[in-house]
Structure 1
Amino acid sequence: MAQGADSTAVRTALWRALHVLLDEPPHVVDDLVGVQIADVDDAWRTRPDMNSERTRTNRASIVARSRAAEDTLGDSGSRQYVLLGAGLDTFAQRQDGNVRVFEIDEPATQEWKRQRLDELGYLDSARPILVPVDFEAGQSWLAEAKAAGLDPTAPTVVAMLGVTMYLTRDAISATLREAASLAPGSVTVFSYSRPIEMAPPEVRTILEVASQGAAASGHPWLSLLRPDEAAALARDAGFSDVSVITSDDLHDRYFADRTDGLSPAGGEDLVVAEVSR
């Protein structure tokens, strides 16, 4: 695998592929493009973190949060979509080309992904606008996105999925303040993880092991939030209309009619926050 591919981003892409390869249809998100971009060897499904049973909640949560963000985009009618900490997201390849997709991530990740998209032959119509941002150096993601062509006068949907747990609360707040400064009608969707003690008993051990693994890999969990804390961060950032979508809500929305027991319950929740029109 090429240097520059973040391990957590690769894992997310592989879990999305597992959903298609292992779980019964209908699939919440149909995405096998990410595993192509990841450029892993043929034995990836034998990895310990790809265990079909232990990862059920993880992969359900991963596809649920993406589907919810993409549905928010579709419902909004916006033609601009910003993905913060985009990793190996593939919306740009799966959409019909009507939305301009801006992917914000670390410079090394963006350079690696640019090379992979070139190697796979994706044309401009199926490519995101890759925006490298050095968050540790204090760069503004919004300033860089504008420099890359984002229209600040047009409503925009911003998604920040699987990111907040790795940020300090101050960094989350700063990121949300920039999103709240976008044009009226813009919407931000971000996921957050609750404190482990708030999780259902059956998934606490999994979360504890995941937390330990994240710390060992150099990506410690810095912010685990209660629903009221997550919503307060959005309101304090300047959003007027803020709602919480719990993992149980995501189950009811996307998984209630399934017969295989797949569910994101106990996984990440979402906050949906809108800029006043």
Structure 2
Amino acid sequence: MDDMTDGPDTTAVRTALWRGLHGLIDDRPLVVDDPLGVLIAGVDDDWRSRPDMDPQRTSTNRASIVARARATEDLVAGSGVSQYVVLGAGLDTFAQRQAGAVTVFEVDAPATSAWKSARLSELGLRTDSLRLAPVDFEAGQSWLDAVVTAGLDPDLPTVVSMLGVTMYLTREAISETLRAAASLAPGSVTVFSYSRPIEMAPAEIQPILHVAAEGARASGHPWLSLLAPAEAVTLARDAGFVDAELVTSTDLHDRYFADRTDGLSPAGGEDLVIATVGPRGGA
């Protein structure tokens, strides 16, 4: 699987590798136990020697990745919904790892969706609860139309996630995506992650973020939207959500990392916004 031209982009692969690395090197208990993303990625056996897999230098990134995944998966499990939409799914593996019967709709570019479908089939991994919903965003296609076409019932409460995506979108594109999510059935919940402006990060993390930003720009995926917490919440409320709860990286640390002895922490990484659709007609 060396040729990733028609597969997931480099950011999706890196995210999957960080989730896998967590299971290999960090102390127990694991925040998320996900060895499948590495398997699906089909990377070379020496992937752990990549500079972006350095255990210490990228520990905050790794912790942030598993924290946002755990928080979202806990939300799905605790909500009782039967439908879960993953925007910018990449190498997400919740559909393969879940113990329940939630139907998972993965939204991604057509080439990525086709590649992933073939890869899951090749590996014999579970797809009974998975619905792939390819969307050509550059052609103006609607992700909501795509998931409904794939079988989503818009009259049933749904969880929507958009993790590690907003930084690559314009504010206008974020708002448009959130407005579509806010049109789902009452009780639906959208969780999205965002990154703060670099100058708002802890001083010791800022040099790492500057390097990451330059790397993203060089790879053709520049960071377009770094949001202050109040701005992220306002985007959700302006999109039509009746409630928008801020969950900071410090909150995630307190929730999942406070008792750890290995020093792993997402503090200074991505925050989350959890936005809820209110009753029809407002209020």
| Both structures adopt the same fold (TM-score exceeding 0.5) | yes
Which residue matches 2:118? 115
Sequence identity percentage: 71
Which residue matches 2:153? 151
TM superposition shift of 1:97: 4.4
Which residue matches 1:217? 219
Going from structure 1 to structure 2, the CA distance change for 1:90 and 1:124 (only over 3 Å counts) comes to closer
Q: Distance in 2 between matches of 1:69 and 1:202?
A: 27
Which residue matches 1:169? 171
1:269 aligns with 2:268: no
Q: Tell me the alpha carbon deviations over residues 256-275 of structure 1, each in whole angstroms, 9 at most, x when there is no partner.
A: 00011100000000000000
Q: Tell me the alpha carbon deviations over residues 238-267 of structure 1, each in whole angstroms, 9 at most, x when there is no partner.
A: 000111000000000000000111000000
What does residue range 17-56 of structure 1 map to in structure 2 within 5 Å?
A: 17-56=20-59
Q: Distance in 1 between matches of 2:252 and 2:110?
A: 32
**Which 5+ residue runs of structure 1 have no aligned equivalent?**
none
TM superposition shift of 1:123: 4.0
Letter in 2 for 1:6: D
Which residue matches 2:127? 124
Q: Distance in 2 between matches of 1:129 and 1:104?
A: 9
Which residue matches 1:180? 182
SS at the partner of 1:251? Answer: helix
Q: Distance in 1 between matches of 2:32 and 2:158?
A: 22
Deviates more, 1:177-186 or 1:96-105: 96-105
Deviates more, 1:173-182 or 1:133-142: 133-142
Q: Tell me the alpha carbon deviations over residues 121-153 of structure 1, each in whole angstroms, 9 at most, x when there is no partner.
A: 12432x521111011111100001001100001
Q: Distance in 1 between matches of 2:14 and 2:274?
A: 25
| Aligned positions, number | 276
Compute the RMSD of aligned alpha carbons.
0.8
Letter in 2 for 1:70: E
Which residue matches 2:101? 98
Which residue matches 2:15? 12
SS at the partner of 2:275? Answer: strand
What does residue range 40-79 of structure 1 map to in structure 2 within 5 Å?
A: 40-79=43-82
Which residue matches 1:193? 195
Q: Distance in 2 between matches of 1:101 and 1:117?
A: 14
SS at the partner of 1:174? Answer: helix
1:237 aligns with 2:253: no
SS at the partner of 1:244? Answer: strand
Going from structure 1 to structure 2, the CA distance change for 1:52 and 1:123 (only over 3 Å counts) comes to closer
Q: Distance in 2 between matches of 1:128 and 1:202?
A: 40
SS at the partner of 2:32? Answer: coil
1:135 aligns with 2:140: no
Q: Distance in 2 between matches of 1:99 and 1:262?
A: 30
1:252 aligns with 2:254: yes
Letter in 1 for 2:270: E
Which residue matches 2:86? 83
Q: Distance in 2 between matches of 1:150 and 1:271?
A: 23
TM superposition shift of 1:213: 0.1
- Provide TM-score, normalisation by structure 2: 0.96
SS at the partner of 1:103? Answer: strand
- Provide TM-score, normalisation by structure 1: 0.98
Q: Distance in 1 between matches of 2:100 and 2:113?
A: 20
**Which 5+ residue runs of structure 2 have no aligned equivalent?**
none
Letter in 2 for 1:144: A
